[in-house]
Amino acid sequence: MPRWLPRAMLLALWIVMAFGVGLWLFLKLQNLFMLLLISLFLALALEPAVNWLHRHRWPRGPATGAVMLVVLVVAVVFFSMLGSMLIGQVLAFVSEVPSMVRAALRWVNGTFDTSYSPTTLLNEVSSVSGLIEQYATGIANNVWGAGTTLLVLLFNALTVALFTFYLCSDGPRFRRVICSVLPPRTQREVLRAWEIAVAKTGGFLYSRALLALICGAAHYVVLILLDVPFAFALALWIGVLSQFIPTVGTYIGGAVPVLVALVEGVWPAVWMLVFVIVYQQFENYLLQPRITAKTLDMHPAVAFGSVLAGVAVLGAPGALLALPIGASLQAFLGTYIRRYEVAEHPLLPARAVADDDPGRAEDETEAEDGGVPDSSSEGTDRDPGARD
């Protein structure tokens, strides 16, 4: 037996054991890792506002507390003023589902000369409603289980708030500790990546909130003008869904208002469908490029694929984290990718880059002259850690 074989076998055994222990710890701490990831996302989203207050001579601790307090107050005011209206409209909408089904079937039978009976559909709706009520009654009767779930949710929310506060208020100190164990060149790259993540994540939150507000307000006005019931609930539905499901979110969210408008008549549904399509084009080509020009410059197909990948990996939180992570990764990689002039070819549109992206055309012109864009000059002109 070779002398090195026992040591190799022992090393392999230690590697397998270490991998097993690491996998066991990861599975046990998976919930904690998810809370930390959500906290990091929230801290990155709040840091632009905290940095603004810090530049105006606010200490980082009180600045972070003030920003989080403003977010909490806005959420409480929103749900206290509009939550009851939303819940009331949703409950009224659920109660009107059987009559909407009857009206829709009458229209279908009268328009297409069919003889569908509402009995089967109403029985299905009633059975589903009965199952929902039975499930809700079971949850209500299980007071201990409901109380435990509520305590777990409250504990997770407080944990996320605590981690978010410390990650945001002690952000410079945390970054300094990380950079202290890295060589100088790696420190600059880590700080650059961190700065890009802050800009993209904060821009994602603020731009999506603004787009959701504009989208919801526009659809609410149209729903009111068309005299469609449950206007506020439907506008909130399409406003939120359209911004967090890229490209197809508006159409998915707009399907429900169109169906509800169909109960009121054919023409309200037609006008609602026309407005959903027109607004989507207006948002894609005019509104969204101006609002998200410096925040999330991603192709719609890439954004949609990122959301699907995030859901597959992390579930519901992954859908929220996918876009800022993808935009940050794209911006970071784009800093170090050297671009070359593209040769003319029938498969390539003539001067498409120059027409669509003047900044990239300037980079190509510089490459033609023999110059190489300096990656260190992109992004910011100062040291990424100077703001700390």
For 83, the token pair is: 């939550």
For 152, the token pair is: 């777990």
Q: Are 325 and 296 in contact (CB under 8 A)?
A: no
What is the extent of the structural domain holding 125?
Answer: 30-181
> In Å, how far are 58, 154, 158, 222 from 163, measured between CA atoms?
21, 14, 9, 42
Percent of the chain with pLDDT over 90: 5
Q: What is the pLDDT of residue 293?
A: 63
Scanning the structure block, which residue is given the tokens 């603020």? 206
**What is the C-alpha separation between 80 and 299, in angstroms, rounded?**
37
Residue 275 in domain? no
Residue 272 in domain? no
For 262, the token pair is: 């169909």
For 249, the token pair is: 């979110």
Q: Model confidence over 184-219: pLDDT tens digits?
A: 888 888 888 888 778 777 777 778 888 888 888 999
Q: What is the pLDDT of residue 357?
A: 47
Instruction: Give the residue-averaged pLDDT of 37-52.
Output: 86
Residue 248 in domain? no
Q: For the chain, where are the alpha helices, taking DSSP H only?
A: 4-28, 30-55, 60-95, 97-112, 118-141, 143-169, 171-179, 184-225, 231-244, 249-264, 266-282, 288-291, 300-314, 316-336, 352-356, 358-368
**What is the C-alpha separation between 253 and 245, in angstroms, rounded?**
9
Distance linking the first and last C-alpha atoms of the chain: 59
**How many structural domains is the chain composed of?**
1
User: Is residue 17 very low, low, confident or very high in pLDDT (cuts 50, 70, 90)?
Assistant: very high
- The alpha carbon of 298 is separated from its chain's Cα centroid by a whole number of angstroms, namely 13
Residue 117 in domain? yes
Residue 283 in domain? no
**What is the C-alpha separation between 246 and 306, in angstroms, rounded?**
9
Residue 131 in domain? yes
Q: Please say if the pLDDT value at position 70 is more than 80.
A: yes
The DSSP-derived string for 137-169 is: HHHHH-HHHHHHHHHHHHHHHHHHHHHHHHHHH
pLDDT higher at 81 or 167: 167
Task: Report helix, strand or coil for 373.
Answer: coil
Instruction: Give the residue-averaged pLDDT of 13-26.
Output: 90
Q: Model confidence over 320-366: pLDDT tens digits?
A: 777 777 777 777 776 677 777 877 878 777 654 444 444 444 444 44
pLDDT higher at 146 or 207: 207
Identify the weakest region by mean pLDDT among 65-69, 87-91, 305-309. 87-91
Q: What is the pLDDT of residue 355?
A: 44
Residue 162 in domain? yes
Q: What is the pLDDT of residue 186?
A: 86
Residue 321 in domain? no
Report pTM: 0.60
Sign of CA dihedral 316, 317, 320, 325: negative
Q: What is the largest CA-CA distance in the chain?
A: 90
Cβ contacts of 295 within 8 Å, gap of 6 or more: 199, 200, 202, 203, 204, 206, 207, 327
User: Is residue 81 very low, low, confident or very high in pLDDT (cuts 50, 70, 90)?
Assistant: low
Q: Please say if the pLDDT value at position 125 is more than 60.
A: no
